[in-house]
Amino acid sequence: MILFVSLLRPGQEYLSGPPHKTKCRFEELTGLPVLLQHFTQVTPEFVNRLPIKAIILSGSPAPWPELKPKELLGLYDVLRETEIPTLGLCAGHQLLDFVFSLDFRQTETLEDQHIRSLGPLEPDLAVGDEPSGWFREKGYYHVEITTADPLFATFDGHCMVRESHMCEVKELPPGFMHLARSEGCEIQAMRHRERRMYGTQFHPEGWNDEYPDGRQILTNFFHIADLI
């Protein structure tokens, strides 16, 4: 079984649509059941009780100050210690940065780490409730693979993947190494040096027929996790 942790706001729960659709995509790729859980439900005891073979952290549209470290403590304790193969997607990638850079028991709030402010001639890609005035990557972007890794096996130096973010990881957290970059964002992918733990700023789960690379990257992760 794969544990898919939703990082959407408490009260907002998992929203309709995307997390379930993504769950179905993981199930299609692995043939394994995927248990969707809200981050407030996840603790080391919870994870130890179930036969969990991989952990995937979802993205989230919420600004980081809305997710409180004390609500994330259970998940924090899991991620700090776990040997289970783990993949953080977008906000999940940024969460790995926070988890390995900060002591959540001593931290009041998590701050948005914006990529940068918009230049005067740049379009604002924010829609709906999204905060305006920030540079965003949105759509399918060229990502350059800077370090050979099984996550990018079968790729020749670059891939085209779905992006949707205005925040980023500014500095590699302790214990992690850099794997990929894009023109707009330096840390597009990272991995833990000793564990099978990855973060991608992009959304491999957002592949489509025209841009299928994300599907292959997920397949590679599931290979790394010995699930397929």
Catalytic residues: 90, 203, 205
CA-only gyration radius of the chain, Å: 16
Tokens of residue 228, six digits: 């397929």
Q: With respect to other proteins, which residue has the nearer C-beta, 21 or 223?
A: 21
Query: Using an 8 Å Cβ cutoff, are 4 and 42 in contact?
Result: no
55 - beta bridge partners?
A: 3, 86
Taking CB under 8 A as the rule, does residue 14 contact other proteins? yes
Rounded Cα distance between 161 and 209, Å, is 12
Rounded Cα distance between 59 and 84, Å, is 19
Taking CB under 8 A as the rule, does residue 203 contact other proteins? no
57 - beta bridge partners?
A: 5, 88
Q: With respect to other proteins, which residue has the nearer C-beta, 6 or 182?
A: 6
Q: With respect to other proteins, which residue has the nearer C-beta, 23 or 136?
A: 23
Taking CB under 8 A as the rule, does residue 50 contact other proteins? yes
Segment near other proteins (CB under 8 A); pick from 28-36, 80-88, 100-108, 159-167: 28-36
Taking CB under 8 A as the rule, does residue 37 contact other proteins? yes
Q: Which of 9, 35, 63, 211 forms a contact with other proteins (CB under 8 A)? A: 35
Query: Using an 8 Å Cβ cutoff, are 50 and 41 in contact?
Result: no
Q: Which residue has the tokens 């850079």?
A: 101
Tokens of residue 151, six digits: 């996550």
Q: Which of 10, 12, 26, 51 forms a contact with other proteins (CB under 8 A)? A: 51
Q: Total residues contacting other proteins (rule CB under 8 A)? A: 22
Taking CB under 8 A as the rule, does residue 46 contact other proteins? yes
Rounded Cα distance between 169 and 186, Å, is 8
Q: Which residues bind other proteins (CB under 8 A)?
A: 1, 13-17, 19-21, 23-25, 27, 33, 35-37, 41, 46, 49-51
